Structure 1
Amino acid sequence: MNLEKSENYGSRQVVIQNLQDAGCTQKMVQRIMTQLEEDDFEELSKLLEQHRSCLLNLIHDKEKQIDCLDYLVYQIKRNKEQ
């Protein structure tokens, strides 16, 4: 696939920038671009889904940390009122 002016994905640089903005490492960007250029959409989808899953796990971890802080604040307020 020629990504220089692909209407489906935008320019190669736009795709690379999007992947970088999504937090992909340089190695991951290279792997994804290779799969895209080889029209290996099965492997491409797998790589993108793996990265998405990692990002979602990070969000869940941060949510748990926020819950811990919220609980601590709740406990402190509750103890102060007694």
Structure 2
Amino acid sequence: MADTETRMAALIQNLRDAECGDEAISRFLELGKKNRIGEQLTLLAAHRAALLGNVRRAQKSLDCMDYLIFNLKKENPGQL
């Protein structure tokens, strides 16, 4: 029993670490109780896609920042 509780706690923590909200976690667990694995996978895939979108937006911002830094250094070589 304790092993099952430990695994469940680890699963919930993993979902939280992946930035799943309480509603998504509850839905995921409810689907698990009903053995609806396909729907769990769909839920996880949708959340993964949202996270990837965030990564891409952050990468674009980083690229812009790198460009600004590069140009500032290039235009002001003696002031570094």
Structure 2 equivalent of residue 77 of structure 1: 73
| CA offsets 1:25-71 (integer angstroms, 9 cap, x no match) | 00000011111111101111000001111111111111111100000
RMSD value over aligned CA atoms?
1.7
Where has structure 1 moved over 6 Å in runs of 4 or more? Answer: none
Q: CA deviation at 1:11?
A: 2.3
Query: Given the alignment, which residue of 4, 8, 16 partners 1:20?
Result: 16
Structure 1 unaligned regions, length at least 5: none
Compare the two structures and name the one with the higher helix fraction. Answer: 2
Structure 2 unaligned regions, length at least 5: none
Amino acid at match of 1:44: Q
Amino acid at match of 1:67: D
Identity %: 29
Q: Does residue 1:66 correspond to 2:62, yes or no?
A: yes
Q: CA deviation at 1:77?
A: 1.5
**How many residues are matched?**
75
TM-score by length of 2: 0.83
Q: CA deviation at 1:17?
A: 1.2
